[in-house]
Structure 1
Amino acid sequence: MPFMKGRAPIRRTLKYLESSRLVLKERVKVVTVNYNTHGNHHQGAREFVFWHLPQLQYKNPQVQVATFKNLTPTPFVRIFLENGEDILVDVDSKSRSEIHDHLKTIICKSESTLQKEARELEINPANFGWGCDRQCICEIPGQVPCPGIIPLPNHMRGKYKFGEIFD
């Protein structure tokens, strides 16, 4: 498996990406991480980018995530919101777990909100389409069958109803 090569290949597995607890609120649009590739007080930011940034991107595809290396004397995370405001988080000399927990408390959805959204997404027998129990509403008893399987009566077809074609 070529994707299992390199530094810490576990980061590229689907199970690892889905295990993140960083699900951002809808109002977050851009997250930037500024850090240097050298220096002890940047170590936590480097590790956060290495371990948690792929998970953050996977769980929040609608959020733009950017990293800026070697542009700042102190590491920080800047979060831009949809109303034009931004939040500046100082991550100087913090470990990756401290950064993770701090971001989780300030910009992520709470556990109760995530559970509520998960309940709403559960399979509902009234839903149909891709990813549901029924592909089409015609599979439910009492509904009109699909026209591809059984042709509709002429009085239900548009070319007979609105056109001047009658049998």
Structure 2
Amino acid sequence: MPFMKGKAPIRRTLRYLEAGGLILKERVKVFCVNYNVFGDHHKGARDFVFWHLPQIQYKNPSVQVVTLTNMTPSPYITCFFDTGERMLIDIDSKTKEEVHAHLKKVICKSEHILAAELKAMQKKDNPANFGFGCDRQCICEVLGQVPCPGLVPLPNHMRGKYKYPKD
């Protein structure tokens, strides 16, 4: 498989992209990472960009993600909000795990908000669903369906005892 070649091909799999835990708040419109490709104090920023930036892009399709390399003496992240504000986050000499944990605490949605959104997304408002806990208790309530035999008897040609009589 050609997509499994290169440096760390696991980053190109759908399972890896869906496993990302950084889901940014709705207010964040631009996520910008500034770092250098050399230097020890930039290593955490480089690793963060290498491992977590594809997940951020996948999980936040409405957020513009920008990386600026070799333009700054110290690495930092800038978040631009829809109100025009911006937030600078210093990631100098931090590991990728520390950066990930800090971003999750500062600019990401909390766990209970994510759980509520997941529950709302899985809400059973699909008109094809019927049964306990849905809008319709039975399929017979949908227009064009055969009514329940308990309420309206089926025509004889639809009943087995008339269609296949035992003589």
Q: Highest Rg: 1 or 2?
A: 2
Amino acid across the alignment from 2:25 = K
- What is the match of residue 37 of structure 1? 37
Report the identity percentage. 56
Alignment of 1:1-167 (within 5 A): 1-122=1-122, 124=124, 126-128=125-127, 140-145=139-144
CA deviations 1:131-156 (Å, max 9, x no partner) are: x759xxxx9533344xxxxxxxxxxx
User: What are the Cα deviations for residues 63-95 of structure 1, in whole angstroms up to 9, with x where unaligned?
Assistant: 000000001111000000000000000011000
CA distance in 1, matches of 2:84, 2:121: 30
Structure 2: gaps (5+ residues): 131-137, 145-167
Gaps of 5+ in 1: 146-167
State the TM-score, normalizing by the size of structure 1: 0.77
Q: State the AA in 2 paired with 1:42.
A: H
Q: TM-score, normalised by structure 2?
A: 0.77
Partner of 1:141: helix, strand, or coil?
A: helix
Q: Which amino acid aligns with 1:57?
A: Q
Matched positions, count: 138
